[in-house]
Structure 1
Amino acid sequence: MPATTIHFVRHGQVDNPDHILYERLPGFHLSARGRAMVEATARFMAEAPGMRDLEAVYSSPLDRTRETTAILLEQINPARVQHGLEPLEPVYDRRLIEAGNEFRGKRIGRGQGALWRPSNLRLILDLRRPSWGESYRQIARRVGDFVRQVVRSHPDAQILAVSHESPIWSYRHLLETGHPEHNMFLRATALASVTSITLDCETGKVLGITYADPAAGV
């Protein structure tokens, strides 16, 4: 029975000393700790069975995911070359991008325009069904579209997809519960973590979901 596994990796910590909700804004890059997180995950993936047999690498086009992808490939590609395989180049796919958010550019903590100001509370009263931008259902739908295309294009393969917390968890929650709505404070998608989803290539049925947090100690 052919099955494809997609390894969703969340980007590492971002350098954001002003606590800005950066969403899709340009110019937000991995911090030194974020790079160390991704390096830990890269070592984990390079040593994991089957990782050198990856068939394709996809990434959100934002700065922090591009940088995460580059660090991962710095570990994965040499292992591939040592075994006679071609190095991989990333494909940037907007279906993996961070969720749209009307609060982009605002500070999360104190100050003018802070996320938790009383004037903004009407937008965050229901954390399971956010009204501040792209819905969880929209997010899960675009990630699902990406997954179905990848399974068709890469049957019986191992795939790497670098994305963000909300897209990864919204899609996983949909698969596990039948709906993508959730409390964003209860997500299990740590920075630089790996969520691996295996699907039957013929039926699209989910055969397994595993989770690893190789950067937990960084």
Structure 2
Amino acid sequence: MTQSTLILLVRHGQTPTTGTVLPGRAPGLHLSERGRAQADAVAERLSGLPVHAIYSSPLERARETAEPSAARAGLTISEDAGLLECDFGDWTGAALAGLTGLPEWQTVQHNPSAFRFPNGEGFSGMQARIVGTLDALRAAHPGAVVVCFSHADPIKAAVAHALGTHLDLFQRIMISPASVSAISYTDGQAPAVLMVNSTSEPLSGLRAP
């Protein structure tokens, strides 16, 4: 019998620098008060699903978002480096206001498949990393519901891949803080994107087709 694995991709909650800085992989960035409330809300939304496993990026803001969901489900958080934020290299910690005027910013927005952050990761490599990670997780949990707490760009790249959308168009996908996106994976079939950037819809009825 063919089994479908449902993977829910959750972006971490809001931090004090969300929308103003590229924090990248720098340690020490924690959720804001609003972010902690968003994490609790995610746990409430997930409570109606038979979650089998919870994975998180090792960064603090992702783990802190995952903690209420893991506590409610009675599960341990498994860290997976494949869910990490993109490595922004020399741009780590830079203010977005200062980056948007750079010529390279146009490449980031309109031709990201050709862009690699100085001394960091390229978008193509990031997409290959997150897609490979999700492939491994669905193979490890056939027929189960798996929740992965990650970051905006990797989630956008995973959703674009599942949709069959070219990476150069992935910036058109919006992934808000504490949003949930759902992808169903069935062996021998194309992935089915069931939900993108959901911040309020109930999840209790969500099942892999």
Whole-angstrom CA distance in 1 between matches of 2:177 and 2:15: 10
| Letter of the structure 1 residue corresponding to residue 133 of structure 2 | F
Q: Is the CA contact (8 Å cut-off) linking 1:129 and 1:136 kept in structure 2? A: no
Structure 1 runs not aligned, ≥5 long: 78-86
| Letter of the structure 2 residue corresponding to residue 28 of structure 1 | L
Q: Is the CA contact (8 Å cut-off) linking 1:39 and 1:72 kept in structure 2? A: yes
- Residue in 1 aligned with 2:111? 129
Listed as ranges, the matches of 1:100-115 within 5 Å are 100-101=87-88, 102-109=90-97, 114-115=98-99
- Residue in 1 aligned with 2:207? none
Whole-angstrom CA distance in 2 between matches of 1:192 and 1:107: 22
RMSD: 2.1
What TM-score results when the alignment is normalised by the length of structure 1?
Answer: 0.80
Whole-angstrom CA distance in 1 between matches of 2:167 and 2:100: 24
Structure 2 runs not aligned, ≥5 long: 202-209
> Identity, % of aligned pairs?
27
Q: Is the CA contact (8 Å cut-off) linking 2:184 and 2:192 kept in structure 1? A: yes
What TM-score results when the alignment is normalised by the length of structure 2?
Answer: 0.83
Larger radius of gyration: 1
| Letter of the structure 2 residue corresponding to residue 128 of structure 1 | H
Whole-angstrom CA distance in 2 between matches of 1:178 and 1:20: 27
1:92-143 deviation per Cα after TM superposition (whole angstroms, max 9, x unaligned): 111110011131122223xxxx3245xxx12212213343523332121111
How many residues get paired?
Answer: 192
1:66 aligns with 2:63: yes
| Letter of the structure 2 residue corresponding to residue 158 of structure 1 | V
The alpha carbon displacement at 1:25 in A equals 0.6
Listed as ranges, the matches of 1:89-108 within 5 Å are 89-101=76-88, 102-108=90-96
